[in-house]
Amino acid sequence: MRRVTGYIEKDPETGLYVAVVPGIPGAHTQAETLDELYKNLKEVVELCLEEMDIDSKEQLPEFVGIQQVEVAG
């Protein structure tokens, strides 16, 4: 089993949840609910990984964390 990290945002224009997995080309999806998003994201990541060769899979970035920064604006 492989664990990947998806970055999730809520699109203010559509109200949809949008997810992307950095480092895996094509690994992005959207949905109306977080449960649906999880299901879609799992499916798309599995499909993307099937298409990747072993060397590419070994070169996937390791998730370290997310940093929020407050800025004036």
Q: Are 34 and 9 in contact (CB under 8 A)?
A: no
CA 50, CA 7: separation in Å to the nearest integer? Answer: 21
Amino acid identity, position 54: I
What mean pLDDT do residues 42-48 have?
97
Assign 24 to helix, strand or coil: coil
Written as six digits, the tokens of 19 are 């997810």
What mean pLDDT do residues 46-59 have?
95
Query: Domains of the chain by range and CATH?
Result: 7-58 (3.30.160.250)
Q: Please report where in the chains the tokens 């599995």 appear, as a residue.
A: 46
What mean pLDDT do residues 1-23 have?
95
**Nearest-CA neighbor of 38 among 11, 66, 15, 8?**
8
What pLDDT is stored for residue 50 in this prediction? 96
pTM, full prediction: 0.84
What mean pLDDT do residues 14-22 have?
97
Whether residue 73 has pLDDT greater than 90: no
What mean pLDDT do residues 44-54 have?
96
